[in-house]
Structure 1
Amino acid sequence: MSKSLQAIRGMNDILPEQTPLWRYFEGTVARLLDNYGYKQIRMPIVEFTELFKRSIGEVTDIVEKEMYTFEDRNGDSLTLRPEGTAACVRAVLEHGITGGGQVQKLWYIGPMFRHERPQKGRYRQFHQIGLEVFNLDGPDIDAELIIMTWRLWGELGIRDAVKLELNSLGTSESRGRYREALVEYLSAHHDKLDEDSQRRLKTNPLRVLDTKNADTQAVLVDAPKMADYLDDESRAHFEGLKARLDAVGIPYVLNPKLVRGLDYYSKTVFEWVTDKLGAQGTVCAGGRYDGLVEQMGGKPTTGVGFAMGIERLVLMLETLEQIPAEISRQVDVYLCAFGEEAELAGLTLAERVRDQLPNLRLQVNAGAGSFKSQFKKADKSGALYALILGDDEMAQQVVGFKPLRGQGEQQSIAWDALAAHLATCVVQG
């Protein structure tokens, strides 16, 4: 027998019973970003490989180990995007929308791809909502990004389950001085480092700070601190950010080991973390990347942004049982019609009601069926009410109106009065 077809490991289907929660989350974020004045941009999921090597850094884990890279028929090296910032920078440069100091506040949504070991909350195809701001260099915009996410957690009902961690990486010059001091210190303790940290010491030493190995963590206790190497500009920027968060009342923890996994970050970096999802604790992260646009061939342009993982946040809503009751119901009203004449009238009546109540979720029975079978489908749909059209109703030009959840007797409603009646009942239901 041939092997049954299956999805690629770590690339998952999102089934119909799951999509309402995804749509609720995505819609909540989209409305929030609209309210703050951000505009959506959509980029391709495939880019030239060189884009990510130049932006993320050739010695990062993403480029070295995790990218899905292939040659197309023209011999070009292409990559499924592993993150969104580089693609967004490429797009704004290509179309010239940040030239002349134009401020752009952009957001995007879509799948990203990394060849990692799949586990709960970490997949090879995963979905992110990302946000990028160009040509604003003050701590006020850094604060706005964090304040927006704080508001989002409140709207989703998960604010008490997340914690904000902050750090500053300074400018490339101050970070370079710190890197030298860190390498000197770690080299003196080389034998005490785990194998992965020994490798990173030669390629990307700041990532050693991010290790989960207990022995290496013990070595890092006395390691040089980034804060001691910050330049005056970066220090003032960081103090300005903290002052704004303090003014709004957003709690945070300073984490000197927070470096993020990408080479392009400078000054502010932050993560929202939780202890509700096991090992996959980061649900939103970002920071400032003032040198990236220039590094990719553009004129000096400041930038700051973040990305949040949709899978992890949806999982968090499920874990904390913060799922609004109304999103589990996909149908408000189910129309049952018996006989061809009633079916034709039912279609006409349904479209008339939809004209008057465009937000009403009205499902018309398809496939005919007996009274019992249609009512069984009506109940299974989750609808609050069933509408009934049979011979008696046709003769009187009324429709039977039967509550399916809770108390209430069946009524007869005139066709012309149906939309007004449904508007009242569904809102109340």
Structure 2
Amino acid sequence: MELITKAPKGTRDIIPGESEKWALVEDVMAGEAELNGFSEIRTPVFEHTELFERSVGDTTDVVEKQMYTFTDKGGRSITLRPEGTAGAVRAMLENGMYNNGFPIKMYYKTSCYRYEKPQAGRMRELHQFGVEMFGAAEPAADAQVILLGKSIFERLGLGDDVQVAINSIGCPTCRAEYHKALKTYFTAHREELCETCNSRLERNPMRILDCKSPVCGEIAKAAPKILDYLCDDCRAHFEKVQSLLTAVGVEFTVDPGIVRGLDYYTRTVFEFISTRFGYALGGGGRYDGLVEEIGGKPTPALGFGLGFDRIMLALEEFGAEFPDDGKCELYIAAMGETAQVKAFQLVNALHRCGVAADCDLCARGLKAQMKYADKIRAPYTIVLGDNELESGRAELKNMKTGEKKKISIGEDFIDAYLAETTAQEDLSF
């Protein structure tokens, strides 16, 4: 077999058998978010390019190198979303959600698109779970969001592996002095910096700290630390965040090297780092100036994003156990056309009562049908033939124990089936 094309480089299919695992992880994340008062939002997969240029920052790798941008048939510049926050802010403003009072809490399960070299846990189509909170300026909001992320990893069984690392990158006022110090320091190393970092030196020297070049990274180790330049308000905010995390038993480290990769961050920034893999499984922080930058009134905001791809790799590495039960509870095999019609009717009745069931759809013989029932791990089977149709009763077989019981296949079939199985479905409509 020769396909006319394959999935684009940096993308992958999440196929049955794997997608169920992803769905379970998504449910854990969404459940924890909802416990903290967050509600789901869904935004378009593409936005006007200016949204990301204004929000993400034109000195970031995302905007400079990684965005999937194209001109649509109306001559507009459109970009596939490279991250989730900007679209959430735009949606909050455009839909007037601020009229419902603060804080506004939202979460999303989404795909983002960045043109970069694919590697394990980092694809061009990356899957992300994110939360955003608007209108809460207090350090308690920072602590709650960090605690939410930590609790998600604990629920997933990764709590012992994930370390919380935090930092403060200050506000625009105190960061201005820090930028001066960075510019002075990096100017002395200008000849050693990569071409990209030289361009950042004038526009945003802080971006150099996030450069992936080993040479630039080594130079950055001795650069001035932002914590030495925080104003009194930013310092007090950061200390309060730390005290709140300590109060609820969250262990963390302060890492002055965390600046995050996007320009909109202010004050608290943080990452959830896998100690086994040595890289972040997610991260986030405050972005108090972003809402105003996009066109709204000054509004404090913060959030985080977790990388599904890396988290699934971590779960696989740690041998996470997922339910291995088949979806089909009852498979009804049939011999002959009349029996096939009856099987189809019974399966439809089961579906209407919320019971997962199936029958042959491929004109297979009885042996092949039973082999298929075994393959899909159906815990119960029924075989219908002329004798069963004539008597109105058939054998319900427990595929694990081999036990067989005769049940009615008439109008009381559903009651008869449920009485003989361990199904505990809620049959209310």
Query: If the length of structure 1 is used for normalisation, what is the TM-score?
Result: 0.91
Question: Match of 2:139, as an amino acid?
Answer: P
Equivalent residues in 2 for 1:121-140, closer than 5 Å: 121-140=121-140
Preserved CA contact (<8 Å) 1:353 1:419: no
Assess if the C-alpha contact under 8 Å between 2:269 and 2:285 holds in 1.
Answer: yes
Letter in 2 for 1:43: T
- Residue aligning to 2:380: 385
- Asked if the contact 1:333/1:363 (under 8 Å) is kept, the reply is yes
Q: Are the aligned partners of 2:335 and 2:365 in contact in 1 as well (CA < 8 Å)?
A: yes
Between the aligned partners of 1:71 and 1:15, the Cα distance in structure 2 is 32
Partner of 2:189: 189
**1:232 aligned to 2:227?**
no
User: Any stretches of 5+ residues in structure 1 without a counterpart?
Assistant: none
Query: Cα distance, 1:3 vs. partner?
Result: 8.0
Question: In structure 1, what is the equivalent of residue 158 of structure 2?
Answer: 158
TM-superposed CA distance for 1:162, in Å, is 1.3
Point out the more displaced range, 147-156 or 128-137: 147-156
Q: 1:396 aligns with which of 365, 385, 391?
A: 391
Could you say which residue in structure 2 is the equivalent of 1:418?
417
Q: Distance in 2 between matches of 1:330 and 1:154?
A: 27
AA in 1 matched with 2:383: I
Alignment check: 8 A CA contact 2:339 2:389 kept = yes
Change (3 A) 1:218 1:348: closer
Paired residue secondary structure (1:190):
coil
Structure 1 residue 215: deviation in Å? 4.6
CA, structure 1 residues 36+399, in 2 after alignment: closer, same or farther (shift >3 Å)? farther
Aligned mates of 1:110, 1:153 — CA distance in 2: 18
| CA distance 1:417–1:23, shift in 2 (3 Å) | same
Aligned to 1:392, the other structure's residue is in SS state helix
Pairing 1:323-334 to 2, within 5 Å after superposition? 323-326=321-324, 329-334=326-331
* Distance in structure 2 (CA, Å) of the matches to 1:378 and 1:402: 12
Deviations 1:342-394 (A, max 9, x none): 222222322333344x2x33222222322211111101112222222222322
Q: Distance in 2 between matches of 1:158 and 1:424?
A: 32
Shift of 1:20: 1.0
Which whole-Å CA distance do the structure 1 matches of 2:117 and 2:246 have between them? Answer: 39
- Residue pair 2:168, 2:268 contacting (<8 A) in 1 also: yes
- Contact 1:101–1:301 under 8 Å retained in 2: no
Matched-pair contact (CA < 8 Å) for 2:69–2:80: yes
1:126-165 deviation line (CA, Å, top 9, x unaligned): 1212111110111111111121122211221111221111
Q: Is the 8 A contact 1:332 1:426 kept in 2?
A: no
CA distance in 2, matches of 1:214, 1:263: 22
For this pair of structures, how many residues does the alignment match? 420
The structure carrying a bigger helix percent of its residues is 1
Structure 1 residues 134-283: aligned runs within 5 Å: 134-194=134-194, 196-277=196-277, 281-283=279-281
Residues of 2 paired with 1:284 and 1:221: CA distance?
Answer: 22
| Equivalent in the alignment of 1:317 | 315
Tell me the equivalent position of 1:288.
286
Calculate the TM-score normalised by the size of structure 2.
0.91
Kindly provide the amino acid, as one letter, of the partner of residue 78 in structure 2.
L
The CA deviation string for residues 6-60 of structure 1, in whole angstroms up to 9 with x for no partner, is: 2211122222232111111112222222222211111111111111111111121
Query: Match for residue 336 of structure 1?
Result: 333
1:298 aligns with 2:292: no
Change (3 A) 1:120 1:222: closer
User: Is the Cα–Cα contact under 8 Å of residues 68 and 80 in structure 1 kept in the other structure?
Assistant: yes
Secondary structure, counterpart of 1:149 in structure 2: helix
Kept in 1: contact 2:179–2:204 (CA 8 A): no
Specify the code of the residue in structure 1 equivalent to 2:74.
Answer: N
| Match of residue 369 from structure 2 | 374
Distance change >3 Å, CA 249–CA 380, structure 1 → 2: same
**Amino acid of the structure 2 residue aligned with 1:136:** A
Q: Deviations over 1:202-246 (max 9, x none)?
A: 343212223455554443443221111111111111111111211
Any conservation in 1 of the 2:350–2:356 contact (CA below 8 Å)? no
The answer on whether the counterparts of 2:67 and 2:113 sit within 8 Å (CA) in structure 1 is yes
Shift of 1:192: 4.5
Listed one character per residue, the Cα deviations across residues 281-316 of structure 1 (whole Å, up to 9, x for unaligned) are: 221111000111111121111100111111221222
Contact 1:67 1:82 in 2 (8 A): yes
Conserved 8 A contact 2:59-2:207: no
Equivalents in 2 of 1:219, 1:116: separation in Å? 24
Contact 2:150 2:164 in 1 (8 A): no
For residues 303 and 254 of structure 2, the distance between their equivalents in structure 1, rounded to whole angstroms, comes to 19
Match of 1:54 in 2: 54
> What is the CA distance between 1:269 and its match in structure 2?
0.5
Residues 284 and 308, structure 1, Cα contact 8 Å, conserved in 2 = yes
Instruction: Tell me which of 301, 306, 309 is aligned to 1:308.
Output: 306
How many Å separate the matches in 1 of 2:425 and 2:292? 55
Q: 2:15 is matched with which residue?
A: 15
Task: Please list the CA deviations of residues 53-99 of structure 1 after superposition, one character each: whole Å capped at 9, or x if unmatched.
Answer: 11111121111111111111221111111111111111111122125
Asked if structure 2 preserves the Cα contact closer than 8 Å seen for 1:337 and 1:368, the reply is no
Q: CA RMSD in A?
A: 2.3
* Aligned mate of 2:403, from 401, 409, 415: 409
2:76 is aligned with what amino acid? D
Q: Aligned pair in 2 of structure 1 residues 60, 219: CA closer, same or farther (>3 Å)? A: closer
Which AA in structure 1 matches 2:403?
A: E
User: Could you say if the C-alpha distance between residues 213 and 51 of structure 1 is closer, same or farther in structure 2, counting changes exceeding 3 Å?
Assistant: closer
Matching residue of 1:349: 346
Distance in 2 (alpha carbons) for counterparts of 1:234 and 1:425: 54
Give me the whole-angstrom Cα distance separating, in 2, the residues matched to 1:242 and 1:375. 60
The aligned amino acid for 1:27 is D
Q: Which sits farther off after the overlay, 340-349 or 112-121? A: 340-349
The equivalent residue for 1:73 is: 73
